Amino acid sequence: MDVVTSLLLFFCSLGAATSSCIPGCQCQKTSIMCHSLSDFPTHVPSSTTHISFSDCKFYSLKHEDLTKFSSSLEHFVIVKTALSQVHTGTFNSSLNLKFIVITETEVQDLPETLFEKLQKLQTLNLKYNKLFAIRPRWFFQLTELTQLDMSKNRFTYIPVETFHALKKLKFLSLAANNASQLFSDTFKGLSELKILRLNKNLLTELPADILSDLDNLEELSLQDNQITYLDHMLFSKTPKLQKLFISNNRLWSLPQGIFCNLPLLYQISLYENHLKSLSPGVFGPMALRELWLYDNKLSRVDDDTFRNLTQLHLLVLSRNQISYVSEGAFRGLTQLGEVSLHTNRLTSLQARTFEELPNLVNISLENNFFTSLPSDFLKDLNNLGEIDLRNNSLPNLPQHNLDSLAKAENVLLQQNPWRCDKNILPLRNWLKLYPSKVNQTLVVCETPLNLKGEIIAMLADEDLMAVSPSEDPVLASTEKRRPHTDLPKQISPSAEVLTTPTSKQENVTNRGKGQGVQANNISLILIALAVVSTVIISSVIIGCIYWKRNRRGNENISQMSRNSVL
Ligand SMILES: *[C@@H]1O[C@H](CO)[C@@H](O)[C@H](O)[C@H]1NC(C)=O
Ligand SMILES: *[C@@H]1O[C@H](CO)[C@@H](O)[C@H](O)[C@H]1NC(C)=O
Ligand SMILES: *[C@@H]1O[C@H](CO)[C@@H](O)[C@H](O)[C@H]1NC(C)=O
Ligand SMILES: *[C@@H]1O[C@H](CO)[C@@H](O)[C@H](O)[C@H]1NC(C)=O
Ligand SMILES: *[C@@H]1O[C@H](CO)[C@@H](O)[C@H](O)[C@H]1NC(C)=O
Ligand SMILES: *[C@@H]1O[C@H](CO)[C@@H](O)[C@H](O)[C@H]1NC(C)=O
Ligand SMILES: CC(=O)N[C@H]1CO[C@H](CO)[C@@H](O)[C@@H]1O
């Protein structure tokens, strides 16, 4: 909860006990809360310690406004007000101020000496104004300041000396401005700083030693900048770092050793960068539980890349360009519960890639180009929950693969070009054997054409004998079509088909008994069309259901992205 909210809640909690001491204001003991005033109130009691203004219409603030109560004033808040000018000297006799919030105003600049007398000030919140420049001397006397929030303003430049006096600062936010450059000494001496937010600026690089005095830093936000490179020593002096956000930048590589001195790190975001490769030596031992690397440009995952991440529960590598995952890529990830490799360029896997991952539950491999799966590739996995193979290039699955897949509770197989010849029999039998693992209605033939859209689990043996198993799946549906699957021929209606009413249901389920296929081409096409359209509509519905089901919150990853990357 930010300071404004907490203060407003504090005032609200005073509730019924308040009285209207000044028109438009509520008072409680020495606290005053004013709302929608058009002018700064003139008769504020001299004992006032807390005063706040929201949705007011006065444009300026000056020394005389505060003189009556300046010596007792401790908390001063202005929120959502037309304020555009704060005059020199406004706070120069309010020496007991500990807490100032000026937010959501029209203020574009503040006098250089505005805060110079405020040696007791602990919190200064200037978030969400229109400050276009930082005056280098603003904070020179604020030696007691612990919280400084300057986010959501409009400055592009941060003078190097700006924060040097703030030896007690614990929280500093410069997020959502347009700063493009920082210096080695920008954060010099801020050894108490725990949280530093630099996200949403226009930073392209960081000096290698910019964090070297921040030995108590716990959280660093660098996301949403344009950073292309991070020095390998950048984090060498921040051993207490717990959260590091670097997503949505332009990093194309991570140097060896960069994350090797971060034993307490448990959250990192690296998604939406341009990372082309990752190698062993990048991640040292740390407490990381989730690693999000989606939307990068990784082309391969090599042995031991993540070996030090023994606490990792979730590894997201989706939406890269990965065409190769080596056998030892996930070695050491003994806690890994879920790995997401979907939407990559994989055509095959190594048999031992998932070996020695005793806690692996979910594997997503959808939207790749798998034409086959290795034997026994799920051998060591005894808690397998879901394996997603949707939208790959599998023509069938041999018995040894099916034996592996039987370990999973849930297998997603739709959108593969299943070729319904006799090699599909193991899959058909398996689907019948394990109706609870797969939604059978979604697993349908792609070829041959006359079986396109047919539910594989419902195929009869005879259906499958009609097509030669050796036939190439593409050719089978085009040049090499057998006479009875020839499209023009099917369309020319035969008297028999037209005149004989058929029972659709029977012809779907019993089709294929001898000549049935040839005799019923038209009705089959109609039925197939009906089935296909049902399947399409259902897939959309299912898609929606999955989309909803997969919603899992994470404060640093937008819900949308999280859904589509897992
Ligand atoms: C404070 O500022 C006002 C306005 O600039 C000025 O008149 C006054 O002398 C100053 N007082 C002190 C104590 O600096
Ligand atoms: C930052 O700069 C971009 C253009 O580079 C501009 O569109 C945007 O409004 C600026 N943001 C702020 C907060 O000034
Ligand atoms: C594991 O961490 C150590 C210590 O930081 C480092 O030297 C080593 O290269 C890391 N190993 C891998 C495989 O990343
Ligand atoms: C596996 O996926 C299911 C369904 O999406 C989810 O409920 C479960 O938490 C996941 N398990 C792990 C260990 O990630
Ligand atoms: C299927 O996977 C490919 C390759 O990743 C992808 O381009 C395509 O959009 C996916 N199709 C669907 C319907 O998800
Ligand atoms: C299987 O998919 C169909 C749509 O094809 C859907 O109506 C049905 O609810 C799904 N069944 C399960 C168990 O999800
Ligand atoms: C069982 C059944 O109704 N089968 C029908 C399938 O289609 C043929 C040809 O159109 C009919 O003659 C059958 O009666």
In sign, the C-alpha dihedral spanning 208, 213, 218, 223 is negative
270-279 CB contacts, 8 Å cutoff, 24+ apart? 270/246, 270/296, 271/247, 271/295, 271/296, 271/316, 271/557, 271/561, 271/565, 272/247, 272/248, 272/296, 273/246, 273/247, 273/248, 273/249, 274/250, 275/251, 276/252, 277/253, 278/254, 278/302, 278/305, 279/305
Which residue among 150, 178, 199 is best mutated to probe the pocket of ligand 2, counting the most ligand atoms within 8 A of its Cβ? 178
- Residues 247, 376: one domain? yes
Residues 485 and 372 in one domain: no
∠ CA 461-464-467, rounded to 5°: 155
Looking at the domain assignment, is residue 433 inside a domain? no
- Residues 553, 559, 561, 563, CA torsion sign: positive
Looking at 381, 410, 432, which one is the last position of a domain?
A: 381
Boundary-marking domain end, from 328, 356, 381: 381
C-beta of 385 in contact with ligand 3 (< 6 A): no
52, with CB counted inside 10 A (0-12, 13-18, 19+), is buried
Q: Are 155 and 177 in contact (CB under 8 A)?
A: yes
Establish if 513 belongs to a structural domain: yes
Q: Cα(543) to centroid of ligand 5, in Å?
A: 14
Number of folded domains that form the chain: 2
Residue 47 is classified by DSSP as T
Residues 269 and 362 in one domain: yes
Asked if residue 550 and residue 462 are part of one domain, the reply reads yes
Q: 132 CA distance to ligand 2 centroid (A)? A: 11
Closest ligand 6 atom, residue 534 Cα: 5
Domain region containing 351: 242-381
As a whole number of angstroms, the distance between CA 124 and CA 120 comes to: 11
Same domain, 456 and 373: no
CATH number of the domain bearing residue 290? 3.80.10.10
Q: Is 470 domain-assigned?
A: yes
Distance separating alpha carbons of residues 421 and 459, to the nearest angstrom: 10
Ligand nearest to the CA of 319: 5
Q: Give the atom of ligand 7 at the shortest distance from the alpha carbon of 500.
A: 10
The C-alpha atoms of residue 179 and residue 201 are separated, in whole angstroms, by: 5
Rg (CA), the chain: 33
**Would you say the CB of residue 178 lies under 6 angstroms from ligand 2?**
yes
Q: What is the pLDDT along the chain (566 residues), one digit of tens a residue?
A: 455 455 555 454 544 455 667 888 999 989 999 999 999 998 899 999 999 999 999 999 999 999 999 999 999 999 999 999 999 999 999 999 999 999 999 999 999 999 999 999 999 999 999 999 999 999 999 999 999 999 999 999 999 999 999 999 999 999 999 999 999 999 999 999 999 999 999 999 999 999 999 999 999 999 999 999 999 999 999 999 999 999 999 999 999 999 999 999 999 999 999 999 999 999 999 999 999 999 999 999 999 999 999 999 999 999 999 999 999 999 999 999 999 999 999 999 999 999 999 999 999 999 999 999 999 899 888 899 999 999 999 999 999 999 999 999 999 999 999 999 889 999 999 999 999 999 999 999 998 898 899 999 998 887 776 555 444 444 433 333 333 333 332 333 332 222 222 333 322 222 222 333 344 455 555 556 665 666 566 665 554 444 444 433 333 444 345 557 77
Residue 286 lies in a domain: yes
Neighbouring CB atoms inside 10 A of 28's CB total 17
**For residue 448, is the peptide bond before it cis, meaning its omega torsion is within 30 degrees of 0?**
yes
Residues 377 and 250 in one domain: yes
Give distance in angstroms: CA of 430 to centre of ligand 5. Answer: 26
CA–CA separation, 148 and 139 (whole Å): 10
Residues 6 or more apart whose CB falls under 8 angstroms from that of 433 comprise none
Ligand 5 within 6 A of CB of 320 = no
Q: Answer whether residue 369 is part of any domain.
A: yes
Amino acid present at 16? A
DSSP H helices in 293-343: none
The secondary structure of residue 456, as a DSSP letter, is: G
Q: What is the rounded CA–CA span in Å between residue 354 and residue 443?
A: 25
- For residue 383, the Cα-to-chain-centroid distance in whole angstroms is 26
**Angle formed at CA 274 by CA 269 and CA 278, multiple of 5 degrees:** 70
Cα distance between residue 301 and residue 168, in whole Å: 44
Same domain, 463 and 333: no
What is the residue with the minimal CA distance to atom 14 of ligand 6?
Answer: 439
Per the CB < 8 A criterion, the answer to whether 87 and 65 are in contact is no
Do both 266 and 349 map to the same domain?
A: yes
Closest ligand by atom to 496 CA:
7
Q: Per this entry, what is the length of the chain? A: 566
Is residue 372 located within the same domain as residue 471?
no
3-state secondary structure of 475: helix
Q: Greatest CA separation found in the chain?
A: 104
Is 131 contained in some domain?
Answer: no
Closest CA to 275 of 223, 316, 320, 220: 320
Residue 498, class by beta-carbon neighbours within 10 Å (0-12 exposed, 13-18 middle, 19+ buried)? exposed
Residues having CB within 6 Å of any atom of ligand 1: 63, 88-89, 92-93
The CA angle 181-186-215, to the nearest 5 degrees, is 125
Q: Identify residue 140 by its one-letter amino acid code.
A: F
Q: CA 471 to CA 449: how far, in whole Å? A: 13
Query: Does this model's pTM top 0.85?
Result: no
The answer to whether residue 502 is domain-embedded is yes
Which residue among 381, 399, 431 closes a domain? 381
| CB proximity list for 218: less than 8 A, separation 6 or greater | 194, 195, 240, 241, 242, 243
Classify residue 467: in a domain, yes or no.
yes
